[in-house]
């Protein structure tokens, strides 16, 4: 029995990918928790940006929305959504956290609809918001998501946010900046990345106690494996203490169960 939850493992794993001095656009929930944790541990000079205009805050508590006043607390600037997007257009933002109801083998994301008939979908989802802009213009896309076959699909019903589209060269052919695209997908089972040559998703590390077969069974497409396949480090006790007591003491994101 581990002394941490799968959500805590996901957040701690995501925080490790944010290096000191980087700039990251975050929303609320687990991505914000990961960015806060990184800022309080290995990346004290990490600059957080929020879609509503907060730049470089030192968050005192977990915000409940991207427009929460806490997203401006002791920040470098209180600006606008337009300025945040312009910062991305200038190539200044290293990372963005995104998500969706579906993700495919090339990292394309769907947060628009379930069902391919746009006029008559099975489910209408919230839509893009700023996700398309961020996924198109930030250098690296990070995704935090549960791992199941309904989310990891062969083909998205609708491409809200472009990943590598149909494969190598497709982003560039669509007019998107070279060198941008999906980077890591952190789930409750594994950390996944993308093969440089094919741009297809691959397993890079398995979380403690997770078998590769389980990851494959809960994925709706053929999943490649990077060799050597690694094991995701378990969260250190000191990091968990910071996550639980400083980042999310009310347990809004990490929950109360162990």
Catalytic residue positions, numbered: 51
Please give the Cα distance from 14 to 103 (Å, whole number): 18
**Residue 114: in which H helix or E strand, if any?**
strand 113-114
Q: Which residues contact 20 (CB under 8 A, 6 or more apart)?
A: 42, 43, 44, 45, 46
Is the CB of residue 62 less than 8 Å from the CB of residue 40?
A: no
DSSP states along 40-106? HTT-TTPEEEETTSEES---SS--SSTT-GGGGTT-SEE--HHHHHHHHHTT---EEEE--SEE-TT
End-to-end Cα separation, the chain, in angstroms: 9
Please give the Cα distance from 207 to 234 (Å, whole number): 8
Assign residue 42 a region (left: φ > 0; alpha: ψ between -120 and 50; beta: otherwise).
alpha
Beta-strand relationship, 54-55 and 77-78: antiparallel
SS3 of 144, please?
A: strand
The C-alpha torsion from 197 through 199 and 204 to 209, rounded to 10°, is -140
């Amino acid at each position: 029995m581990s002394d941490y939850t799968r959500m805590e493992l996901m957040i701690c794993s995501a925080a490790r990918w944010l290096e000191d001095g980087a700039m990251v656009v975050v929303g609320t929930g687990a991505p914000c928790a990961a960015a806060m944790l990184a800022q309080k541990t290995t990346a004290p000079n990490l600059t957080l940006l929020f879609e509503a205009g907060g730049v470089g805050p030192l968050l005192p508590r977990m915000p409940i929305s991207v427009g929460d006043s806490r997203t401006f607390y002791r920040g470098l600037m209180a600006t606008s959504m337009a300025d945040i997007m312009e910062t991305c257009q200038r190539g200044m933002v290293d990372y963005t956290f995104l998500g969706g109801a579906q993700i495919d083998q090339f990292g394309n994301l769907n947060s628009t609809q379930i069902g391919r008939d746009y006029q008559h979908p099975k489910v209408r989802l919230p839509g893009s918001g700023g996700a398309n802009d961020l996924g198109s213009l930030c250098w690296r896309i990070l995704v935090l998501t549960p791992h199941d076959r309904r989310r990891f699909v062969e083909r998205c019903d609708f491409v809200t946010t472009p990943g590598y589209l149909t494969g190598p060269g497709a982003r560039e052919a669509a007019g998107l900046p070279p060198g941008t695209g999906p980077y890591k997908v952190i789930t409750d089972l594994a950390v996944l990345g993308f093969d440089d040559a094919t741009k297809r998703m691959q397993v890079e590390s398995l979380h403690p106690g997770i078998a590769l077969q389980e990851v494959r069974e809960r994925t709706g497409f053929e999943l490649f494996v990077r060799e050597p396949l690694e094991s995701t480090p378990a969260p250190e006790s000191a990091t968990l203490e910071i996550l639980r007591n400083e980042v999310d003491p009310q347990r809004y994101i990490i929950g109360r169960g162990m």
